[in-house]
A and B are shown apart, each in its own frame.
Chain A
Amino acid sequence: MTQSTFSPSILSRPVYAVLDSHGATPALMLADAEGAAALIELAERDASVMEHAHLIFIPGGADYGARLRALGPRMYREGPSYAAILPRFRKALADAQMGLRLYLAGTEGLIGQATAEALAAGLPADAIQAEHRGSIARRMQCVHCKGVTENVSTDPFTCSHCGLTLFVRDHFSRRLGAFQGVCVDAETPGIVPPTQEIQP
């Protein structure tokens, strides 16, 4: 699977590029599922990027573990979910020094949350790179109840917290690492447009 391409949208919508190696500087790498392929291709372009890399992988059913380990990162760990790897990710950021580069690869939910966490830890935005791979499902915040629904793949969708029917916006919060969902039938209760699969 190759890098995802998204149709042009408002400025708020994050865009992603192909990961670019900064060489053998301290690196923190975080990928989920198909994102592993982006790290493998990054290492194919420049093997030295793995020399000081701490690589964390969330398989999500994708069988890349052995291939990632074979890239020879300085440290390699797997975890079943973002919530499970978060303490390790936070500790790595807390211990890091200026010069650290963060490489993110995979779904927008992972990229958004990890970027927000890294910015909050003081990592400059221009030390962070992200390449999108795999599912285009979104992490959505309900602007009404503030609850976050993960892996939203349809528009509209039902807020998993308050039950409102929400329209999927391209308006993205960097602070929350989530897109904004807005009640679709506020003006005309019960009149809801047909449900569609989210398009890239």
Chain B
Amino acid sequence: MTSLMLRVTEVAPLTPLVTRFRFEHPEGAALPLFSGGAHVVVEMPDEGTLRRNAYSLISDPLDGSGYGIAVRREDGGRGGSRYMHSHVAVGDMLRVTAPVNLFGLDLRARRHVLIAGGIGITPMLSQLRQLDRLQLPYELHYAARSRSEAAGLKLLPEAPQIHVHISEEGNRMDPGAILSGQPLGTHVYTCGPEGLIAAVEDAAGRLGWPGGALHSEAFLAPPPGKPFDVTLARSGVTITVGAHQSLLEALEAAGVKIPWSCRGGACGQCESAVLSCKGRIEHNDHWLSDDDRAAQAKIMPCVSRFQGEELILER
């Protein structure tokens, strides 16, 4: 991955759980521009463990003076977001990858409907700037549990096409109502909890929307699990994946070269061939097809795990 060492120039708490960070080039050089919905991966040197988390860019895609991200602290998570909240301060230098976009706008659409739940608002903040600049028609629906938790309220502009749904105030979002009556050529983008993405897909299916008009993004954190052993045929070694380590991280720790991009089960970069599988792969990704999962001949090391006697990868 192409990456840059960038300086943290702003740390601004938005809510008790969400903090906004800004990165700039230490010599003030322009950063690569991106497109709405892009993300970067931030590297965090956390006491011997190198943590890498993907964060959507929330700044203007055509502003190379800096990158903005918003990080929600996950206290039950593996520590990346906790590190960002508790260790990172203005002036620190962190390694940040060049932007990658797995959630770009489909510019063939006549109209764009953006649906965000909670911290899922982040990729839409750069999409909004792109839509505004291109003067494309859109509407955005942002759902949050309560006003105090809704970081998006501090990041979204006030506009009639931006709708806020606060469930605590009895204003729950209804995906069916949002999707019905949309003109031909409308595309819908969903980012947020799995339940929200499923609810939008379900409503769209009931209304007869074809799948090509539906887009979603959900980065997964690698789930913890029981430690397991993996044999790497080409490298000729057997490694152990720890309970709170991902298979990808274990491969990297063993010095095995493997491509990656999102580290969250969405991009497909780290897909690896399985040569032998005596047991069950716990597929946690959004990348492999149902047939691929059932065949147990491929695995996504960033988020998936294994239980059983023997797992041999081609790597």
- Do the beta carbons of A125 and B184 come within 8 Å of each other? no
Cβ of B225 to closest chain A Cβ, rounded Å:
37
Give the residue name and chain of the B residue nearest to A24 (CB): B208
Scan B175-200; emit 1 where CB is below 8 A from any A CB, else 0: 00001111111100000000000000
- Do the beta carbons of B212 and A97 come within 8 Å of each other? no
Within 8 A of B (CB), among A37-88: none
Tell me, in angstroms, the Cα distance from A101 to B207 when the chains sit together. Answer: 10
- Do the beta carbons of A126 and B181 come within 8 Å of each other? no
Give the residue name and chain of the A residue nearest to B111 (CB): A122
A127 touches B (CB below 8 Å): yes
- Do the beta carbons of B185 and A97 come within 8 Å of each other? no
Scan B102-118; emit 1 where CB is below 8 A from any A CB, else 0: 00000000100000000
B209 touches A (CB below 8 Å): yes
Give the residue name and chain of the B residue nearest to A101 (CB): B208
Cβ of B60 to closest chain A Cβ, rounded Å:
28
Tell me, in angstroms, the Cα distance from A199 to B212 when the chains sit together. Answer: 34
- Do the beta carbons of B184 and A122 come within 8 Å of each other? yes
Contacts of A3 on B, CB cut-off 8 Å? Answer: none
A111 touches B (CB below 8 Å): no
Cβ of A102 to closest chain B Cβ, rounded Å:
10
Scan A87-108; emit 1 where CB is below 8 A from any B CB, else 0: 0000001001111110000000
Cβ of B115 to closest chain A Cβ, rounded Å:
14
Contacts of B30 on A, CB cut-off 8 Å? Answer: none
A25 touches B (CB below 8 Å): yes
Cβ of B268 to closest chain A Cβ, rounded Å:
21
Tell me, in angstroms, the Cα distance from A124 to B110 when the chains sit together. Answer: 10
A144 touches B (CB below 8 Å): no
Contacts of A99 on B, CB cut-off 8 Å? Answer: 180, 207-209
B211 touches A (CB below 8 Å): yes
Within 8 A of A (CB), among B148-189: 179-186
Cβ of B209 to closest chain A Cβ, rounded Å:
5
- Do the beta carbons of A124 and B212 come within 8 Å of each other? yes
Tell me, in angstroms, the Cα distance from A156 to B278 when the chains sit together. Answer: 61
Tell me, in angstroms, the Cα distance from A99 to B209 when the chains sit together. Answer: 4
Give the residue name and chain of the B residue nearest to A98 (CB): B182
User: How many residues in A have their beta carbons less than 8 Å from beta carbons of B?
Assistant: 18
Given A98-B179, A124-B213, A25-B208 contact (CB < 8 Å): yes
A178 touches B (CB below 8 Å): no
Scan A146-161; emit 1 where CB is below 8 A from any B CB, else 0: 0000000000000000
- Do the beta carbons of B211 and A100 come within 8 Å of each other? no
**Prevailing SS type, chain B contact patch:** loop
- Do the beta carbons of B183 and A122 come within 8 Å of each other? yes
B210 touches A (CB below 8 Å): yes
- Do the beta carbons of A124 and B210 come within 8 Å of each other? yes
Tell me, in angstroms, the Cα distance from A99 to B183 when the chains sit together. Answer: 9
Cβ of A89 to closest chain B Cβ, rounded Å:
13
- Do the beta carbons of B212 and A126 come within 8 Å of each other? yes
Tell me, in angstroms, the Cα distance from A50 to B207 when the chains sit together. Answer: 16
- Do the beta carbons of B208 and A125 come within 8 Å of each other? no
Tell me, in angstroms, the Cα distance from A121 to B180 when the chains sit together. Answer: 18
Choose among A22, A93, A122 the residue that contacts B208 (Cβ–Cβ < 8 A): A22
Cβ of B132 to closest chain A Cβ, rounded Å:
21
Contacts of B179 on A, CB cut-off 8 Å? Answer: 98
Contacts of A98 on B, CB cut-off 8 Å? Answer: 179, 182-186, 207-209, 213
Contacts of B209 on A, CB cut-off 8 Å? Answer: 98-99
- Do the beta carbons of A122 and B110 come within 8 Å of each other? yes
A26 touches B (CB below 8 Å): yes
- Do the beta carbons of A124 and B208 come within 8 Å of each other? no
Tell me, in angstroms, the Cα distance from A14 to B110 when the chains sit together. Answer: 25
Give the residue name and chain of the A residue nearest to B113 (CB): A98
Choose among A26, A97, A126 the residue that contacts B210 (Cβ–Cβ < 8 A): A126
Tell me, in angstroms, the Cα distance from A96 to B184 when the chains sit together. Answer: 6
Please report B residues at the A interface, Cβ cutoff 8 Å. Answer: 110, 179-186, 207-213
Given contacts A98-B182, A98-B186, A98-B207, 11 further A-B contacts (CB under 8 A): A25-B207, A93-B184, A97-B180, A97-B182, A97-B183, A98-B184, A98-B213, A99-B209, A122-B110, A122-B185, A127-B208
Interchain residue pairs A-B with the least CB separation, the first 8: A122-B185, A25-B208, A99-B208, A126-B210, A122-B184, A99-B207, A126-B212, A98-B182
Can you give 24 A-B contacts (C-beta < 8 A)? A22-B208, A23-B208, A25-B208, A26-B208, A98-B182, A98-B184, A98-B185, A98-B186, A98-B207, A99-B180, A99-B207, A99-B209, A100-B184, A100-B208, A123-B184, A123-B185, A124-B185, A124-B210, A124-B212, A124-B213, A126-B211, A126-B212, A126-B213, A127-B210
